[in-house]
């Protein structure tokens, strides 16, 4: 018996090259890039840094031989804000035009507890839900979470696949860390909405975003597409496996529109945009915990996105954990450029048709 994988050699090569670029510029502790078909859940490429040579594996540290995308959970940061926004929209508690005062320092929670809100990366005033997502407001996300409530928010976190395995049957997979509501304190909800107080693997973060891309379905992560017999004839064919519906198609489409604005002028990921191709996604910049405290100097930068937003063909997630080169890491500075570099290689390879032909520019590297 032989296994046929969904991994595309060209995609795998391109993301490994991009990880080498990231390593040269940032010298991160770790980094990874994931590429999937959002509608099927099949992995087209997955690479980690640092890595090893399987032909000489004894010469490398054992830590380099882990598939960190599935074994090492981290706090996801602002990529996680899609959960609070999706939950509030799905429950019809808000519309994209509902506005919130994102300058307030405290918020009375449903329990009556007055929580101190996390600071934003820049001062904000009145923001709509659309702006909260596009500009990545921590205080705005906290207010969305408070509307949904602790139990409701927890339910949506679980729906999006956090706290459980993605289903990739290759090696050991972590469930991440998601405490039940009974173990939350007065600040947990306001912190979790911004991607702290929870740990998730890169694969979990990726498939949560892919659920927005495909219309609201959480797909099982798969890398084995077929099983071949000894004569190389197909014995078993694996199709897409839906784990569950997370949100309605309408909510997913609305979220796609908001994430499209995030990757447009004025959004935190505007540099991810490829003219004519409608990139949608969300940045994340999470403070790392150093010696038991959040560090203002060490960060994990991430970007999870898909394109074209109106009919996605690819979902890509980039995560860069720390920097030892002196170059600061954030979602916008480290992950977004890597996403764009990979996407620009894959557009011609998969012959992805631009949504706006007039704005598109020529990209080389078509599939042979």
Q: Could you read off the pLDDT of 165-181 as tens digits, one per residue?
A: 999 988 789 999 999 99
Q: Could you read off the pLDDT of 267-316 as tens digits, one per residue?
A: 889 899 998 899 999 999 988 888 888 877 788 999 999 999 999 999 99
Q: Say what the pLDDT of residue 266 is.
A: 85
Q: Which residue has the higher pLDDT, 160 or 5?
A: 160
Residue 87 confidence (pLDDT) above 80: yes
Residue 367 confidence (pLDDT) above 60: no
Q: Say what the pLDDT of residue 26 is.
A: 94
Q: How confident is the model at residue 201 (pLDDT cuts 50, 70, 90)?
A: very high
Q: How confident is the model at residue 56 (pLDDT cuts 50, 70, 90)?
A: low
Q: Say what the pLDDT of residue 111 is.
A: 80
Residue 59 confidence (pLDDT) above 60: no
Task: Please tell me whether residue 173 adopts helix, strand or coil conformation.
Answer: coil
Percent of the chain surpassing pLDDT 70: 92
User: Which residues lie across from 245 on neighbouring strands?
Assistant: 217
Hey, what are 362's tokens? 């020529």
CA dist 249 and 256 (Å) reads 10
Q: Could you read off the pLDDT of 104-140 as tens digits, one per residue?
A: 999 998 788 899 999 998 999 999 999 999 999 999 9
Range 278-309 burial, b when 16+ CB lie within 10 A, else e:
bbbbbbbbbbbeeeeeeeeebbbbbbbbbbbb
* Least-confidence region, from 85-89, 232-236, 323-327: 232-236
Residue 368 confidence (pLDDT) above 70: no
Q: Say what the pLDDT of residue 296 is.
A: 76
Would you call 314 exposed, middle or buried from its count of C-beta atoms within 10 A (0-12, 13-18, 19+)?
buried
Q: Say what the pLDDT of residue 315 is.
A: 99
Q: Could you read off the pLDDT of 237-267 as tens digits, one per residue?
A: 789 999 999 999 999 999 999 999 998 888 8
Choose among 67, 110, 287, 271: nearest CA to 194: 287
Q: Which residue has the higher pLDDT, 43 or 367?
A: 43
Residue reference for tokens 């949506």: 156
Q: Which residue has the higher pLDDT, 86 or 63?
A: 86
The DSSP call for residue 119 is P
Q: Say what the pLDDT of residue 142 is.
A: 97
Mean pLDDT of all residues in 8-32: 96
CA dist 351 and 368 (Å) reads 11
Choose among 75, 33, 30, 15: nearest CA to 324: 30
Q: Which residue has the higher pLDDT, 30 or 66?
A: 30
Task: Please tell me whether residue 32 adopts helix, strand or coil conformation.
Answer: strand
CA dist 79 and 59 (Å) reads 36
Q: Say what the pLDDT of residue 364 is.
A: 58
Choose among 151, 246, 266, 263: nearest CA to 204: 246
Domains in the chain, CATH or no CATH each: 2-53+68-349 (3.40.710.10)
Residue 319 confidence (pLDDT) above 90: yes
Mean pLDDT of all residues in 214-222: 98
């Amino acid at each position: 018996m032989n296994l046929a994988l969904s991994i595309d050699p060209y995609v795998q090569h391109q993301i490994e090259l991009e990880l080498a670029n990231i390593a040269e510029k940032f010298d991160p502790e770790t980094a990874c890039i994931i590429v999937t078909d959002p509608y099927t859940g099949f992995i087209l490429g997955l690479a980690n840094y640092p890595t090893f040579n399987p032909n000489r594996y004894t010469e490398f540290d054992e830590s380099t031989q882990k598939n960190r995308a599935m074994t090492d959970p981290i706090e996801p940061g602002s990529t996680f804000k899609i959960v609070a926004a999706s939950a509030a929209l799905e429950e019809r508690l808000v519309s994209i035009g509902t506005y919130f005062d994102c300058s307030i320092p405290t918020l009375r929670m449903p329990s009556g507890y007055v929580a101190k809100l996390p600071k934003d990366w820049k001062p904000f005033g009145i923001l709509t839900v659309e702006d909260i997502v596009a500009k990545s407001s921590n205080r705005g996300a906290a207010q969305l979470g408070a509307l949904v409530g602790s139990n409701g928010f927890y339910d949506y976190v679980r729906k999006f696949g956090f706290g459980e395995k993605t289903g990739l049957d290759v090696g050991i997979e972590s469930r991440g860390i998601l405490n039940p509501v009974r173990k939350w304190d007065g600040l947990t909800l306001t912190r979790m909405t911004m991607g702290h107080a929870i740990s998730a693997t890169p694969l979990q973060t990726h498939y949560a975003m892919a659920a927005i891309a495909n219309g609201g379905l959480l797909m099982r992560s798969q890398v084995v597409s077929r099983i071949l017999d000894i004569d190389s004839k197909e014995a078993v064919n694996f199709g897409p496996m839906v784990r569950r519906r997370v949100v309605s198609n309408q909510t997913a489409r609305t979220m796609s529109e908001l994430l499209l604005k995030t990757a447009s002028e004025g959004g935190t990921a505007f540099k991810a945009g490829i003219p004519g191709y409608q990139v949608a996604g969300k940045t994340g910049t999470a403070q790392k915990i150093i010696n038991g405290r959040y560090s203002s100097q060490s960060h994990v930068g991430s970007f999870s996105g898909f394109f074209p937003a109106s009919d996605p063909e690819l979902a890509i997630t980039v995560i860069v954990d720390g920097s030892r080169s002196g170059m600061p890491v954030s979602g916008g500075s480290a992950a977004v450029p890597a996403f764009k570099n990979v996407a620009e290689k894959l557009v011609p390879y998969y012959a992805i048709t631009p949504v706006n032909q007039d704005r598109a520019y020529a990209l080389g590297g078509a599939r042979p």
